[in-house]
Amino acid sequence: MMISLTKFESQIDEIIVAHGLSCWQDGNVIELEQTLNDEYEAMVSGNEDYDVNIKVENDNVQDFSCSCTYDKGPVCKHVVAVLFAIQNGKLNVLNETKSEKIPQEKISQKQVSEDQFEEILTRLDKNELTGWLRTYAELDEKFRNYFLAKFTKNKENTNIERYARILEKEIRKAEDRHGYIDYYHAGDAADEASQLLYQTELGFKILGAAEIISTCFAVIKTIAPALNNSDDSGGEIGGALEQAVELVARTASEKDLTGTVKKELFELCLKYHNTDGIDINNWDIDLLDVAGELVSSQQEKERLFVLLDQKDKAASWHHTNELTAQIRQKVIGRLEGSDAAASYVESMIHLPGIRKQFVEKYIRGKKYSAAKELCTEGILQDEKWPGIVSDWNKFLLTIAEKEGDRTEILRVATLLFLGQFNSKEFYPILKKNTSSDKWNQTVEFLIRELDKKKGDEYITWIYIQEGMFENLLSFIQENPHPFNIEKFEQNLAPIYPGEIKDLYEKAIRRYATHASNRKEYAECCRLLRKMKKLGDKHRVDLLINELTTTYKSRPAFLDELKRV
């Protein structure tokens, strides 16, 4: 909505204008600052303090926002009150300085250098500083809340709510009237949280654990739900949440927690692991993992395991089950001993991640029969997951190589190569373990099997590996797409220059028939240049003349042809 700074009264609902005028006349615009040449920040008092931001260009309001919850129209009375304040207090300045920039020192009065800041702090009398803090805290709710949260006397208790109120206010400012945060405002929603976490990380060594925990869980409580109602394509909101979870884990592992703080952190992890949005990227499991590090009694263990069981039941992918199993293993090991933990892990061998640990252990101990048995069972169990089946076959190949079982090597390497998923590494293994008199037969078999699976990429790759360039040329002649011609030109042009030129010419004619816009005409001419680089300029000139005559009614095409 475009609003004129000089005529906004006629563009906004008259009732809102009246309320905004009363708000301004009553002195409720308690702060108004021009932060940049065309941006204003203000605070308007009411039932609570509201932050208003307005951007002005050439006497027109380009953008505006207010932290209030008014949703019955595009403009609230607080914005109108600030417009009156700007109109009456700043408009003349704007008009007088249209042709010149406002001096930077007038725009950014609050930007004091670090040296000046330190000098002022040194010479300020304690009573003077205390008086200023008291006055500023009364005017600025955000400052007051940060101050109270930071300097609370009881360092043994967390103070999540005070930080959360500050963050919630910033998130509301980024939301539209429907409560949605679009891509362009996602960074605004996460900015306050990111700044808070940044300052917390800077002071990690000197801050108390309770304060660090307070900031982190305030972020988790407020930022996580925003993920479910925002376009966070840039990752700002998710990044702040991830930073908070990581800082919680760091606090649990690096800080010397008192019994009170340790117990409270355990409870917070259980409470907030299920917050809307926290389950993305397994952050919910990460919090339960922290809780697992803090478990100190059988009762706490049972409470945690109930939540882990719920995660297992809801999981659609075994990776979650593996993560919860790792948490249980650590808790059992700490409370009940290593033998109990080992017994538990064996009971979870149906999970691929845990089964792999046992296979690797058996291979290191040269217990190849036991390792092969687990791999064979894994192939049957995980048939729905081709990538995991491939892992079991790779283990079997490793074992076969260690045992020198050439028959098994060929069997498994063939399966892996024909799987066509980053599997070209197994081709040299096949060749190394196949006798020379049987290799041609093996190559023919591989090509036939790949042809059944439409594995053209691997078939042409074999042609190049084996120097089967006549077969490669035949493949391109049967599939004369420009992509294929260009891809294999370097392999074939030195041997079959005429045939490659023929292929280009046919492709160009076919492309020209269907071309209908400048982009397609340009692509056709690009192929002409490729053909020209192969030599025989006369042939290319004849083709250009033919196309010019055939498509004389396409001026854009003619223009592109002239450039060839």
Tell whether the model's pLDDT for residue 307 goes beyond 90: yes
Q: How far apart are CA 297 and CA 302, in angstroms?
A: 9
Instruction: Please report, for residues 6, 57, 64, 249, 336, the alpha-carbon distance to residue 82 in angstroms, rounded to integers and kept in the order given.
Output: 13, 16, 10, 44, 65
25-34, 59-68, 96-105: least confidently modelled range: 96-105
pLDDT at 145: 66
Q: Taking a C-beta distance cutoff of 8 angstroms, is the pair 511, 520 a contact? A: yes
**Could you tell me which residue, 75 or 118, shows the higher pLDDT?**
75
pLDDT at 460: 96
pLDDT at 197: 92
Q: Both tokens of residue 249? A: 């884990």
Q: How far apart are CA 227 and CA 536, in angstroms?
A: 61
Q: Taking a C-beta distance cutoff of 8 angstroms, is the pair 530, 538 a contact? A: no
Provide mean pLDDT across the span 505-519.
Answer: 92
Please tell me the pTM assigned to this model. Answer: 0.63
% of the chain residues with pLDDT over 90: 59
pLDDT tens-place string over residues 431-453: 999 999 999 999 999 999 999 98
pLDDT tens-place string over residues 320-360: 999 999 999 999 999 999 999 999 999 999 999 999 999 99
Tell whether the model's pLDDT for residue 420 goes beyond 80: no
Q: How far apart are CA 350 and CA 94, in angstroms?
A: 73
pLDDT at 47: 75
Tell whether the model's pLDDT for residue 104 goes beyond 60: no
**Helix runs in 67-159, H state only:** 77-89, 91-96, 104-107, 114-123, 126-139, 141-150
Tell whether the model's pLDDT for residue 269 goes beyond 90: yes
pLDDT tens-place string over residues 34-55: 875 678 888 898 878 888 999 8
How many other C-beta atoms lie within 10 A of the C-beta of residue 259? 9
pLDDT tens-place string over residues 120-172: 777 778 887 888 788 877 777 667 666 765 665 555 556 788 888 889 988 99
Tell whether the model's pLDDT for residue 534 goes beyond 80: yes
pLDDT at 150: 64
Give the contacts of 364 (CB within 8 A, at least 6 positions apart).
none
Q: Mean pLDDT, the chain, as a whole number?
A: 88
pLDDT at 90: 46
pLDDT tens-place string over residues 171-195: 999 999 889 999 889 989 999 899 8
Please state the φ and ψ torsions of residue 420, each to the nearest 5 degrees.
Answer: 60, 30
Q: Which of the four pLDDT bands, split at 50, 70 and 90, describes residue 73?
A: confident
Give the contacts of 181 (CB within 8 A, at least 6 positions apart).
171, 174, 175, 189, 226, 229, 230, 231, 232, 237
pLDDT at 115: 65
Cross-strand partners of 54: 40, 64
Q: What is the DSSP letter of 103?
A: P
Q: How far apart are CA 44 and CA 80, in angstroms?
A: 11
pLDDT at 98: 32
Q: Taking a C-beta distance cutoff of 8 angstroms, is the pair 351, 326 a contact? A: no
Q: What is the DSSP letter of 102?
A: P
147-151, 278-282, 508-512, 550-554: least confidently modelled range: 147-151
pLDDT tens-place string over residues 220-267: 999 999 988 999 988 999 999 999 999 999 999 999 999 999 999 999
Q: Is 60 helix (H, G, I), strand (E, B) or coil?
A: strand
Q: How far apart are CA 280 and CA 107, in angstroms?
A: 42
pLDDT tens-place string over residues 536-547: 889 999 999 999
pLDDT at 483: 92
